[in-house]
């Protein structure tokens, strides 16, 4: 009986974690084909950020706890189409598309009523393909303020 309870608890925990960070499943599938794949907590990234930029980075990533990066040294149509299909299936919200100098930047979010759970940025050019995911729990109001601040800077 104790063994059954333990197994049910473990399964519940695993399914809870899987639904919490949807991008993680995509990352796990695609990292083997990427030239470079990296997963780390946000606090480690903050160590590498120059002191004069830390406050701004904190503002734009408030509530996010984990970072995942997939990188290919060339334009990877397979990775991009795989990600676009994944984003459509998992109902990610396309937020921003920027095209400039042969590069394209897409920003997607996965959200609930009050929070942004994941922010995914894909950057493509003829030289490289990069997908960066920020995962955590950011208040929608904080996200909207960050986007407003970013648009005012340009």
Model pTM score: 0.80
Instruction: Tell me which residues of the chain have a pLDDT lower than 50.
Output: 1-2, 4-20
pLDDT of residue 56: 84
pLDDT of residue 14: 46
Please answer whether residues 135 and 23 qualify as being in contact, where contact means their C-beta atoms are separated by less than 8 angstroms. yes
pLDDT of residue 11: 45
Other beta carbons within 10 angstroms of residue 2's beta carbon come to 6
Please answer whether residues 44 and 61 qualify as being in contact, where contact means their C-beta atoms are separated by less than 8 angstroms. no
pLDDT of residue 154: 58
What are the structural domain ranges in the chain? 21-153
Please answer whether residues 143 and 151 qualify as being in contact, where contact means their C-beta atoms are separated by less than 8 angstroms. no
* Element housing 123 (H / E): strand 115-124
pLDDT of residue 122: 92
Q: Rounded CA gap, 123 and 19, in Å?
A: 25
């Amino acid at each position: 009986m104790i063994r059954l309870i333990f197994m049910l608890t473990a399964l519940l925990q695993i399914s809870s974690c899987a639904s919490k960070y949807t991008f993680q499943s995509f990352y796990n599938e695609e990292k083997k084909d990427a030239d470079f794949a990296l997963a780390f907590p946000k606090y480690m990234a903050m160590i590498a950020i120059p002191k004069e930029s830390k406050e701004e980075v904190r503002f734009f990533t408030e509530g996010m706890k984990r970072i995942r990066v997939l990188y290919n040294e060339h334009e990877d149509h397979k990775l991009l189409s795989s990600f676009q299909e994944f984003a459509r299936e998992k109902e990610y919200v396309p937020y921003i598309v920027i095209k400039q100098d042969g590069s394209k930047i897409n920003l997607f979010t996965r959200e609930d009523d009050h929070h942004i759970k994941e922010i995914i940025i894909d950057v493509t050019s003829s030289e490289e393909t990069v997908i960066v995911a920020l995962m955590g729990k950011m208040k929608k109001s904080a996200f909207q303020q960050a986007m407003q601040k970013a648009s005012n800077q340009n």
